[in-house]
């Protein structure tokens, strides 16, 4: 068509923006629906088919081939189609403007750099717009294979791939990429801050909280009118609510409330996130499945697709066989029924016969550790469900190669799953099953067939032999094809193992180098630790020797004689503070003997006990800095211990020792003796005066 050729003429600038003429044409809707096996087109809206044209989503300015299929405002048998090349920014603008029902692609990561970016893209999509990956779920197939299977035109050109994706999605082929639950959170909260205070702060706060409460009531009323199930959680504050949270069992487009902000309140709507990215088929249909059954008091059943995906698992203690069969029928058509033990239990055999399915049982009972390993990535509730899952998955493993060989031989217009089911049930070759299905689908007149069969001449022995040989050749060729496929798979496996072996050897060499380096560093560390220990030992020994030398120097008067060359100095024992602790330290370090000169660097604060203890040493004189307490002064005076101010004596400190001039010490003692004599005289006079006063007092009586 002219429009199509115009659409395929590309002329873009250096920034990747599209300057392409948009092509518009109409295609037959009936033809489009007919190319898909037995699916029906359920879309009566707009479908975007997207494929990356140039660049990369992780780079700058990627461009996309965009094909739009529009079934709106057209006759029933026509679909309007547009083609364009757009930038990512323009693509988003078009999605926002048109709100298509589906954005279809063959690879969802052409629209997002990673999983987090994909979640952000899904959150941004308009309500009602689905992102569909038409090539499958977790393990997508090539787009060419999917298009061929459903009879959709395909080409390697990005525009043709985008069109194929759009056509497949329009026919309900593919999986919706979902990251959110069908549960929505509606949050009503304050639209303004309550501030930090003021003359009208209480009234202002009460008004805001009252507005939130009123708005939450309106939201709740709307949810009730829409007959939606919800849960409410409110945070009460002064005057009303600070927040109201509604968890609604519905999608945002089904909720009669919109995100908005109005004065004192704001309403926010957000869908709840799923644990990860999930895929949901656009059309739920009863596919062929593998069923694993674990019978007993608790019956467990597991359903696995022919592609190995776990579809569902269930266990019950109350349901009968009919209920379990009904549950299975809702989830697919069993083609293979499996058990985890040998021989197959009679109960499992009954299920197999009920579905007219093939059976599978292991050569021997499957060990528990193998079951745990095979089901390690699957959630289940109990051991019975684990056993059922293991039976189905091991059955799939046993037939996986067969399924792939059958799939390669089945034409695109034939139901692959039906062929697999018939091969499993009849144990015939794929070719025989295909011929049988072709015969079943022949719409000719049975009388004509009988007539042709009647007219067929009898074969000669040579012709019969030729037919048998040809049949044998076909079987051998089929077997050769199977063997070639097996060889190719084994060659691929060998290459993978070689690569893994090479990587393992490289990793082992790297680890060996690291081990050698670690060993060398450990030896060096041990040597340094031993050296440090040796140095620490030498240090401790030298410190002990130094302490001994200091002690000897302190106690050796001959050393003091070197300082006291003229014999005019006397040693002084220093006490830092007039306390028991300071006395203990001085006694321990230097010792205090009778006749020593003691210097109290801080004489204040001593009590009777401390003064009596100092008097017991019987020092020659006590030099003090500061004043003694009256109690301490009285104790030393009564013990006849001279006490003199240190200001009158020149004290020289040499390292940890101190000396003073003997003449000044003698003068201080002499001065104390004079003061002591006067003090004793005053005490005697006071005593005489007291006696006289007491005598006079007695005479007055």
Domain layout of the chain by residue ranges: 2-173, 182-274, 286-424, 457-555, 565-688
CA 663 to each of CA 463, 570, 596, 598, 668: distance values in angstroms, whole numbers, following the listed order = 152, 9, 15, 16, 9
**132: pLDDT strictly greater than 50:** yes
Per residue in 157-196, pLDDT (tens digit) is 999 999 999 999 888 888 889 888 778 899 999 888 776 5
Average pLDDT over residues 258-277: 84
Alpha helices in 187-291 (DSSP H): 201-225
CATH fold for domain 2-173 = Nucleotidyltransferase; domain 5 (3.30.420)
What does the pLDDT read at residue 565? 52
Confidence band for 5, pLDDT divided at 50, 70 and 90? very low
Sequence-distant (≥ 6) Cβ neighbours of residue 150 within 8 angstroms? 35, 36, 37, 168, 171, 173, 412
Per residue in 352-399, pLDDT (tens digit) is 888 888 899 999 999 999 999 999 888 888 999 999 999 999 999 999
Sequence-distant (≥ 6) Cβ neighbours of residue 173 within 8 angstroms? 36, 39, 134, 146, 150, 282
This prediction has a pTM of 0.39
What sign has the CA pseudo-torsion 167, 173, 179, 185? positive
Confidence band for 459, pLDDT divided at 50, 70 and 90? low
Mapping DSSP to helix (H, G, I), strand (E, B) and coil, where does residue 293 land? strand
Q: Is 124 exposed, middle or buried (0-12, 13-18, 19+ CB in 10 A)?
A: exposed
Per residue in 191-245, pLDDT (tens digit) is 887 765 555 667 878 888 888 999 999 999 998 888 888 899 999 888 889 899 9
Q: Which CATH superfamily is domain 286-424 in?
A: Ribonuclease H-like superfamily/Ribonuclease H (3.30.420.10)
What does the pLDDT read at residue 195? 63
CA nearest 384: which of 421, 354, 347?
Answer: 347
286-424 and 2-173 share a CATH fold: yes
């Amino acid at each position: 068509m002219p429009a199509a050729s115009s659409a395929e003429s590309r002329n873009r600038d250096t920034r990747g923006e599209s300057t392409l003429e948009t092509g518009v044409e109409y295609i037959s809707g009936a033809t489009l629906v007919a190319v898909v096996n037995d699916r029906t087109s359920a879309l009566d809206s707009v479908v975007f088919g997207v494929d990356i044209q140039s660049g990369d989503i992780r780079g700058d300015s990627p461009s996309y081939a965009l094909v739009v299929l529009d079934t709106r405002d057209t006759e029933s048998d026509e679909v309007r189609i547009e083609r364009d090349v757009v930038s990512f920014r323009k693509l988003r603008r078009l999605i926002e403007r048109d709100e298509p029902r589906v954005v279809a692609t063959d690879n969802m990561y052409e629209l997002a750099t990673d999983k987090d970016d994909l979640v952000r893209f899904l959150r941004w999509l308009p309500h009602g717009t689905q992102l569909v990956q038409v090539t499958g779920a977790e393990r997508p197939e090539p787009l060419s294979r999917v298009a061929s299977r459903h009879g959709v035109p395909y080409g390697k050109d990005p525009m043709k791939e985008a069109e194929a994706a759009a056509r497949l999605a329009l026919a309900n082929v593919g999986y919706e990429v979902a990251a959110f639950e069908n549960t929505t959170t509606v949050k009503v909260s304050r639209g303004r801050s309550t501030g930090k205070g003021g003359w009208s702060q209480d009234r202002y706060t009460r008004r805001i909280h009252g507005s939130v409460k009123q708005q939450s009531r309106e939201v709740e009323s709307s949810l009730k009118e829409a007959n939606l199930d919800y849960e409410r959680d409110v945070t009460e504050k002064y005057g009303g609510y600070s927040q109201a949270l509604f968890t609604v069992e519905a999608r945002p487009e089904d909720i009669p409330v919109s995100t908005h902000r109005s004065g004192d309140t704001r309403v926010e709507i957000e869908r709840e996130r799923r644990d990860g990215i999930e895929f949901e088929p656009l059309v739920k249909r009863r596919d062929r499945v593998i069923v694993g059954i674990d019978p007993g008091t608790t019956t467990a059943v597991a359903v696995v697709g022919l592609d190995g995906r776990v579809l569902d698992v269930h266990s019950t203690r109350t349901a009968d066989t009919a209920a379990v069969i009904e549950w299975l029928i809702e989830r697919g058509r069993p083609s293979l029924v499996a058990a985890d033990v040998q021989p197959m239990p009679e109960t499992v055999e009954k299920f197999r016969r009920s579905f007219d399915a093939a059976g599978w049982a292991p050569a021997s009972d499957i060990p528990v550790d193998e079951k745990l390993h095979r089901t390690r990535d699957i959630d289940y509730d109990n051991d019975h469900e684990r056993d059922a899952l293991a039976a189905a998955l091991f059955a799939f493993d046993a037939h996986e190669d067969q399924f792939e060989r059958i799939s390669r031989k089945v034409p695109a217009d034939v139901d692959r799953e039906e062929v697999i089911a018939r091969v499993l049930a009849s144990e015939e070759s794929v070719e025989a099953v295909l011929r049988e299905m072709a015969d079943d689908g022949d719409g000719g007149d049975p009388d004509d067939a009988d007539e042709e069969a009647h007219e067929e001449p009898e074969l000669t022995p040579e012709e019969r032999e030729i037919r048998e040989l040809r049949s044998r050749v076909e079987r051998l060729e089929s077997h050769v094809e199977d063997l070639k496929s097996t060889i190719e798979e084994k060659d691929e496996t060998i290459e993978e193992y070689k690569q893994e072996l090479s990587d393992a050897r490289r990793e082992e060499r790297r680890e060996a180098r690291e081990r050698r380096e670690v060993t060398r560093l450990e030896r060096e560390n041990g040597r340094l630790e031993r050296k440090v220990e040796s140095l620490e030992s030498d240090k401790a020994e030298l410190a002990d020797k130094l302490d001994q030398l200091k002690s000897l120097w302190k106690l050796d008067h001959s050393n003091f004689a070197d300082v006291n060359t003229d014999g005019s100095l006397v040693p002084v024992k220093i006490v830092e503070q007039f306390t028991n602790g300071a006395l203990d330290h001085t006694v321990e370090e230097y010792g205090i003997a009778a006749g020593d000169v003691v210097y109290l660097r801080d004489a204040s604060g001593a009590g009777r006990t401390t003064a009596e203890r100092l008097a017991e040493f019987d020092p020659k004189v006590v030099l003090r800095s500061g004043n003694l307490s009256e109690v301490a002064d009285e104790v030393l005076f009564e013990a006849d211990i001279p006490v003199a101010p240190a200001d009158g004596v020149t004290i020289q400190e040499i390292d940890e020792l101190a000396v003073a001039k003997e003449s000044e010490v003698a003068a201080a003692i002499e001065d104390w003796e004079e003061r002591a004599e006067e003090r004793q005289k005053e005490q005697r006079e006071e005593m005489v005066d007291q006696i006289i006063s007491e005598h006079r007092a007695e005479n007055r009586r």
